[in-house]
């Protein structure tokens, strides 16, 4: 069964450093998302991406964040200069068209720890 | 804006007990409603969904009914197993062009043998 994969599973970085979180969505999906969950809090929407551009972003997704689909398979989230409060679990999701158009399929997440 | 309120956990039950996890929502329009489950060390998996009022979603013995009059989507299972131990998330999307999800805070369920 196709699945969304994410790497790394855990990333530890120093405050101020850049990090890139990687995702491989399901191959025939067209819509891509990043969410995050700070420990003990809700899963929050960050950004959606379609047709090689951002379709919607939340207020959390400021200038420090960017997303890219550098090739036909990867979808990345970059944080330019990490802050302590960026420590969270980051989930990638993808969505197709057709019968499951309404369903998002999630990866296992990347736990980001900013020291 | 959209919001989801979920029963606070953690919830601890004995095997074969009845489970209810409450979920209520606030949304514009006609949202689709979802329950996701996260097993230890894994990602979010869709457990069940309902896309219109009075729909019942069901999977693996779990059920939830979309109640528009009470804006609720409570998760139930008649007899839980140890393997059901996980975090359960209620979520909605309001459609539009993005179908972004709004989640509740999650409820940790622990089932003891």
CB-based contact A45 B45, cutoff 8 Å: no
The pLDDT of residue B85: 97
Element (H, E) at B74: none
The token pair at A68 is 């890219």
User: Predicted confidence band at A96 (pLDDT cuts at 50, 70, 90)?
Assistant: confident
A105–B99 C-beta distance less than 8 A = no
| Residue B48: Cβ within 10 Å count | 19
Instruction: Give the pLDDT score at A4.
Output: 93
**What rounded mean pLDDT belongs to chain A?**
92
Task: Report how far apart, in Å, the C-alpha atoms of B5 and of each of A70, B25, B36 are.
Answer: 37, 6, 14
Q: How confident is the model at residue B40 (pLDDT cuts 50, 70, 90)?
A: confident
Q: DSSP string spanning B23-73?
A: EEEE-SS--EEEEEEE-TTS-EEEEEEE-STT-EEEETTEEEE-BTTTTB-
Greater pLDDT, B9 or A34: A34
pLDDT tens per residue across span A52-80: 999 999 999 999 999 999 887 899 999 99
B46 part of contact set with chain A, CB < 8 Å: yes
Residue A102 predicted with pLDDT over 80: no
Query: pLDDT value at position B9?
Result: 85
Chain A residue numbers touching B86 (CB-CB < 8 A): none
Cα A52 versus chain centre, distance: 15
Q: Print burial letters for B23-45: b (CB count within 10 Å at least 16), e (below 16).
A: bbbebeeebbbbbbbbeeeebbe
Residues of B with Cβ-Cβ distance to A42 under 8 angstroms: 103-106
B40 vs A7 pLDDT, higher one: A7
Of B32, B98, B102, the CB nearest to A56: B98
Confidence of residue A98 (pLDDT cuts 50, 70, 90): low
Token digits for A31?
Answer: 């819509």
B32 CB within 8 Å of a chain A CB: yes
Residue B26: what pLDDT?
A: 94
pLDDT of residue B19: 97
Q: Given a cut of 90, is residue A101 above it in pLDDT?
A: no
- For residue A13, the model assigns a pLDDT of 97
For B50-107, what is each residue's pLDDT tens digit? 999 999 999 999 999 999 999 999 999 999 999 999 999 999 987 666 789 999 999 9
User: Looking at the predicted structure, is the pLDDT value of residue A99 above 70?
Assistant: no
Separation CA A102–CA B64 (nearest Å): 17
3 state DSSP class of B108:
strand
Nearest CA of chain A to the CA of B29: how many Å? 15
């Amino acid at each position: 069964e196709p699945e969304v994969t994410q790497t790394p599973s855990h990333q530890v970085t120093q405050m101020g450093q850049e990090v890139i979180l990687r995702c491989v969505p399901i191959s025939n999906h067209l819509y891509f998302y990043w969410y995050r969950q700070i420990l003990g809090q809700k899963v929050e929407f960050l950004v959606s991406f379609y047709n090689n551009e951002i379709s919607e972003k939340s207020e959390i997704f400021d200038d420090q964040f960017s997303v890219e689909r550098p090739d036909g398979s990867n979808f990345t989230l970059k944080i330019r200069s990490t802050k302590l409060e960026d420590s969270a679990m980051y989930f990638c999701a993808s969505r197709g068209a057709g019968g499951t158009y309404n369903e998002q399929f999630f990866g296992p997440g990347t736990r980001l720890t900013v020291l | 804006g959209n919001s989801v309120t979920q029963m606070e956990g953690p919830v601890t039950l004995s095997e074969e007990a009845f489970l209810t996890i409450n979920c209520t929502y606030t949304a514009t329009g006609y949202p689709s409603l979802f329950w996701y489950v996260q097993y230890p060390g894994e990602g979010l998996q869709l457990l069940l969904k309902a896309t219109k009022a009075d729909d019942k979603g069901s999977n693996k013995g779990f059920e939830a009914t979309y109640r528009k009059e009470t804006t609720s989507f409570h998760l139930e299972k008649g007899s839980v197993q140890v393997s059901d131990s996980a975090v359960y998330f209620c979520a909605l999307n309001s459609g539009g062009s993005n179908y972004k999800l709004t989640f509740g805070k999650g409820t940790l369920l622990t089932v003891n043998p």
